[in-house]
Amino acid sequence: MALEMNSQLGSIDISKEVVATVAGGAATDVYGIVGMASQKQIKDGLSELLKRDNFSRGVVIREFEDDLHIDMYIIVSYGTKISEVAYNVQTKVKYQLEQMLGLTVESVNIFVQGVRVSNP
């Protein structure tokens, strides 16, 4: 299913996979993020074994009426303030989706799935 935007020039359909990829890319640029996590541990383990970067992993896009809600499952770096990292992810994801795709996001929910020591 795609998100539909209507303008005076016509209609634009944006895939939820594209929205998830943009949101995941924005989140991984934030200081303190080690990576994205998945709700499905088998899929997550396979991706890590294959060393495949998939920005949409750990991002769930929900549409409720006309509102867009995003759930993000992240892994933070040890020693960082989790609340600050989560806030920075929320603001960066909202900003990037508004600037790149013109979407207004109602909420960005952050779920911290783990804390890891990042590699120097």
What pLDDT was estimated at residue 49? Answer: 38
Max Cα separation, the chain? 50
Q: Is the pLDDT of residue 37 over 90?
A: no
Q: Is the pLDDT of residue 36 over 90?
A: no
pTM over 0.85: no
C-alpha 111/C-alpha 120 separation (Å) is 25
pLDDT tens profile 87-109: 999 999 999 999 998 888 999 99
Task: Give the helix/strand (H/E) hosting 27.
Answer: helix 16-28
Beta pairing partners, 70: 61, 108
pLDDT tens profile 62-76: 988 888 999 999 889
What pLDDT was estimated at residue 58? Answer: 85
Q: Is the pLDDT of residue 85 over 60?
A: yes
What pLDDT was estimated at residue 94? Answer: 95
Q: Extract the runs of DSSP E, i.e. beta strands, from 8-120.
A: 10-15, 33-36, 59-64, 67-77, 107-116
Mind listing the domains of the chain with CATH numbers? 11-116 (3.30.70.1350)
